[in-house]
Amino acid sequence: MKSVKMPETRNWLSYLLDSLVNSGAVPTWEGIDYLTSNLLGDAPNIHLHQAKSPYEAIQQFLHRVYGPIVEAASRTAQLPPQAMIQMFTDISLIGKSAVLVVYYPGHNQPHQLLLLDAVPAWDLMFENSNAFDQWAEERYGWIVSALNTVCQDPIQSDSAKIEELQPA
């Protein structure tokens, strides 16, 4: 998978499209239509309402929107080689779905929650691309800030804690 570089002036809609196309998730012409019809316009999102399997449609939608934002944040914060980030969704068909971004520092250390975002998927529509850019930039900033915090102050492994408690 080709890595897409985040531009200095952040146009998140373009970045999402590049990410989706480069990952092979959608061809360019489908990606443009998918993003504009699912992100721009009036709520509720009729495409999610009319889906034959709305659970899967919402899950795919949230991964396509949040995934590139999480990926960009993880590259900005420069994760240690053994660390990784995982995104999870808890889909609700009648209320807010949850998007969780979790940091795994590696070496059997406890994981840490970076982002818990309650998302009304049906209503996740924006007036224009600038409104979406502001929304995406906010989430990106939250994740980068949380990553910088956990990467600067890593949790000690259990074995290191035990060694500290041992008498000299």
pLDDT digits (tens, 9 = 90+) for 138-149: 999 999 999 999
Q: How confident is the model at residue 126 (pLDDT cuts 50, 70, 90)?
A: very high
In angstroms, how far is CA 49 from the centroid of its own chain?
Answer: 23
Residue 163 clears pLDDT 60, i.e. is over it = no
In residues, how long is the chain?
A: 168
Q: Which domains does the chain have, with CATH numbers?
A: 12-152 (1.10.3100.20)
User: Tens digits of per-residue pLDDT, 28-73?
Assistant: 889 999 999 999 999 999 888 889 999 999 999 999 999 999 999 9
Q: Is 108 left (phi over 0), alpha (psi -120 to 50) or beta?
A: left
Q: How confident is the model at residue 4 (pLDDT cuts 50, 70, 90)?
A: low
Check: pTM over 0.85? Answer yes or no: no
- Name every residue whose Cβ is closer than 8 Å to that of residue 104 and which is 6 or more positions away in sequence: 83, 84, 85, 86, 111
Mean pLDDT over the full length of the chain: 86
Residue 26 clears pLDDT 50, i.e. is over it = yes
CB-count burial class (<10 Å; 0-12, 13-18, 19+) for 10: middle
